[in-house]
Structure 1
Amino acid sequence: MKELINQYKNGLLEDVIPFWSRYSLDKVHGGYLTSLDRKGNVFDTDKYAWPIGRQIWTYSKLYNEVEKKPEWLAIAQSGAEFLVENGMDEDGKFYFSFDQQGNSLKKPSNIYSDCFAALGFSQYYKASRNAKYRTLAREVYDRIEKRWSNPKHIFNKETGIRPMMGMGKLMLDANMALEMEGVLDNDTIISLKSNSIRKLLTHHYDEKVELFFENVAPDGSHPDTVDGRLIVPGHAVESMWMIMDLAAQTNDIKTIQKATDITIKMLSYSWDDQFGGIYYFMDWKNKPMQWKLDWDQKLWWVHNEALIALLKAFHHTRRADVWSWFKKVHTYTWKYFPDPEFGEWYGYLNRRGEVLLDLKGSFKGCYHLPRSLYECWKTLEKIAHDNDKS
């Protein structure tokens, strides 16, 4: 167990974070240059709100939970100040992208830039204790809630003939319930928690076919269409570990067990028995993935989220099947994704596990991987602690 703990801890603190600290900080214009090639060279100086908000969160989290390193706080501050100065339009909606100097390039076209800004500001407030960022996080959250019924606004292309609900908002609600305590009021946190757990486990998980669907109709059914049949294993397991964390707050063992069961069922369904690894997208009825030509690729974040879910599930349940799955996913992940020559991890592999793109940045960013390494490290420590007590 000690060797595993050190593998994740050192992977985070001696490999991944030094890579991003060394190469991503824009010391002239602020914020982060996230389009990094394999060696850390910048191949595009445009900046994007999603990765910036996520990297603010990452460095603030490290400062809050690992060590009060001034360097980490300064890096988080650089991203936070960049978004405050350049990120929003006159209505407070976040732009999608910017040039290096901070001039907006693409208008606000969806709500996810706002979501990650709120999460980043919330964690940065806890690190800096600057009340301005607590206020900002709350204001951004309030605007998000007002916009959710039509998050794309004038950019919405749907006619309303076949209404569908994606699971993205529910997973972000669960994430915000975990991350924004002390920023949002208690009633809001309780509502986010209960609503996200209930709908993710009842609307998006189909008990009959034992699968988690990305999109459902308002009544929870999944139409026999490309969107209605879509399975995204990474989102399924990511939402399950968040549910486990929320349920653990009240010692809700039944919900933890259900989230564990769904995690195992989804991994059993989506594991590539021939080449190993977890498929990116799947069709419930195995029909052609006409809009998802990358369906059989193996992506870093899917495996990162699976590792978190499996370790948290094992910590709570001590089930042998969960540990067996963790070992399987752990072995595949550490064999194919890390780059031993230039550091950090590859993000995109083909079905056979061969590197498709050797870049380290772009929308891969500094988020899923460091979060996974951190969560796995800390959960393994909890498991080891429980072992010592027994």
Structure 2
Amino acid sequence: MDQDKLEHYSQFYQEALLENIIPFWEQNSPDRKNGGYFTCLDRRGKVFDTDKFVWLQGRQAWMFASLYQKVEPREDWLELSRLGIDFLDRYGSDHNGQFYFSLTREGKPLVQPYNIFSDCFAAMAFGKYGLVSGDLQCTERAVDIFNQILSRQENPKGIYNKAFPGTRPLKNFALPMILSNLCLELESLLNKSQVEETLDHCINEVMENFLDNDTLLVYENRTMENGFSDSFEGRLLNPGHAIEAMWFMMDIAKRRSSQQLAVKAVEVMLKQLEYGWDGEFGGIYYFLDAKGHPLQQLEWDQKLWWVHLETLVALAKGYKMTGDTRCAKWFVKVHEYAWNRFYDKENGEWFGYLNRRGEVLLDLKGGKWKGCFHVPRALLQVWKTLEK
């Protein structure tokens, strides 16, 4: 990929972010009456449900604070971030400081704090807003939430864990994966030794314990001894999760000036992509079974927006850090697939869910899982990665 081509993609992603994606959410998402954001938006941006999902509130507050920091210090972006921060501060957590999964539009709890990722994205939001605004209460809140997350690592769901204890204890890939990113996001607020210890732990979990070094496949669940469990959960692969984790590893590699880690992360990323690519219809499968057995997840063959966006970020970073031409070739291939199928040329933003053939399954632009996060974050990341 030559320099002109790189600059073309950088400009394309910049314009798509600032002229299409962000205006869509600015216009349709803020709840000026109750605070926070509506995320259940139909194809044209109309609100079709007013429930508020806490992790999406945190993600969107973080996103607008990040735009303020990395693109332009616009007061309207800072104000939009504050809209989510105030809502989270007032209604987001229970008396123990753990964050609910969902709330009513007014902020009344709907679903208990069973999901630690609500806390992860609340920490990101408070941390980023506090850093760019100078609000010390927010930065202190972010550190408190982060420390509480670390204390819950061994049993993230706590009393809401459905698994019967002791029969088949498994640990899940998602928490060490997200911690590797969250720790970098909050690094300037944390104790140096805590940062290094957390990153060491995350690298070991992601690149050793959940990674099968023989096949280079990353598993979603492992035994507590880091072994393979021949079960539905133990055989489960999520290519998008693994690929996203690899660009987190690349960011750590850059921070630590570790070319060895960067090269390994690229190799692992490319393996997930090659293994997870649908050779017949194109796109990346959502879930796979490591032994090729039928899956419990009925949506296993769907093509999801975030999977392809995180792949584009990982490929751009992989190419920049290592110069591996496979990353460049795959970037073009995934870019063409994603923008031809997920992007809504008529109304803007991206569809989230396609069937295996690449046809739109749901024409919503946001809901319980999709909000103002993966699309704008990925566009910002690709733009900035390929800019120079």
Q: Structure 1 residue 276 and structure 2 residue 255: aligned?
A: no
In 2, distance between residues paired with 1:227 and 1:96? Answer: 23
Question: Would the aligned equivalents of 1:204 and 1:212 in 2 still touch at CA under 8 Å?
Answer: yes
> Who is 2:46 aligned against?
41
Offset of residue 210 of structure 1? 2.4
> Who is 1:157 aligned against?
162
Give the AA of the match of 2:151.
K
Deviates more, 1:297-306 or 1:187-196: 187-196
Mapping of residues 16-31 of structure 1, within 5 Å: 16-31=21-36
> Who is 2:153 aligned against?
148
> Who is 2:349 aligned against?
344
Query: Over aligned residues, Cα RMSD in angstroms?
Result: 0.9
Give the AA of the match of 2:135.
N
Offset of residue 323 of structure 1? 1.0
The aligned length equals 381
In 2, distance between residues paired with 1:118 and 1:160? Answer: 31
Mapping of residues 233-244 of structure 1, within 5 Å: 233-244=239-250
1:3-38 superposed Cα distances (whole Å, 9 cap, x missing partner): 211110011111110000000000111100111000
Offset of residue 148 of structure 1? 2.1
Offset of residue 160 of structure 1? 2.2
Give the AA of the match of 1:340.
K
1:67-109 superposed Cα distances (whole Å, 9 cap, x missing partner): 0011100000000000001111111111111111111112211
Match of 1:65 among 55, 67, 70: 70
Match of 2:208 among 182, 193, 202: 202
Mapping of residues 152-191 of structure 1, within 5 Å: 152-158=157-163, 159-191=165-197
In 1, distance between residues paired with 2:103 and 2:279? Answer: 42
In 1, distance between residues paired with 2:347 and 2:339? Answer: 15
Give the AA of the match of 1:306.
T
Question: Would the aligned equivalents of 1:297 and 1:350 in 2 still touch at CA under 8 Å?
Answer: yes
> Who is 2:117 aligned against?
112
Instruction: Give secondary structure in 1 for the equivalent of 2:110.
Output: strand
Question: Would the aligned equivalents of 1:177 and 1:190 in 2 still touch at CA under 8 Å?
Answer: no
> Who is 2:266 aligned against?
260
Q: Structure 1 residue 312 and structure 2 residue 317: aligned?
A: yes
Q: Structure 1 residue 8 and structure 2 residue 26: aligned?
A: no
> Who is 1:92 aligned against?
97
In 2, distance between residues paired with 1:258 and 1:62? Answer: 30
1:207-255 superposed Cα distances (whole Å, 9 cap, x missing partner): 1222111111122221111111100001101000010010111210111
Q: Structure 1 residue 128 and structure 2 residue 133: aligned?
A: yes
Offset of residue 297 of structure 1? 0.3
Q: Structure 1 residue 83 and structure 2 residue 65: aligned?
A: no
Give the AA of the match of 2:287.
F
TM-score, structure 2 as length reference: 0.97
Offset of residue 111 of structure 1? 1.1
Q: Structure 1 residue 364 and structure 2 residue 365: aligned?
A: no
Q: Which runs of 4+ in 1 moved over 6 A?
A: none
In 2, distance between residues paired with 1:295 and 1:274? Answer: 15
> Who is 2:230 aligned against?
224
Deviates more, 1:215-224 or 1:274-283: 215-224
Q: Which runs of 5+ in 1 are unaligned?
A: 383-390
1:258-315 superposed Cα distances (whole Å, 9 cap, x missing partner): 00000111100000010000000000011001x2000000000000100010110000
Deviates more, 1:258-267 or 1:322-331: 322-331
Question: Would the aligned equivalents of 1:176 and 1:192 in 2 still touch at CA under 8 Å?
Answer: no
Give the AA of the match of 1:106.
V
Give aligned-pair identity as a percent.
Answer: 45
In 2, distance between residues paired with 1:378 and 1:68? Answer: 16
Instruction: Give secondary structure in 1 for the equivalent of 2:48.
Output: strand
Give the AA of the match of 2:44.
K
Give the AA of the match of 2:85.
A
Q: Which runs of 5+ in 2 are unaligned?
A: none
TM-score, structure 1 as length reference: 0.96
In 2, distance between residues paired with 1:308 and 1:378? Answer: 10
Offset of residue 318 of structure 1? 0.8
In 2, distance between residues paired with 1:113 and 1:326? Answer: 31
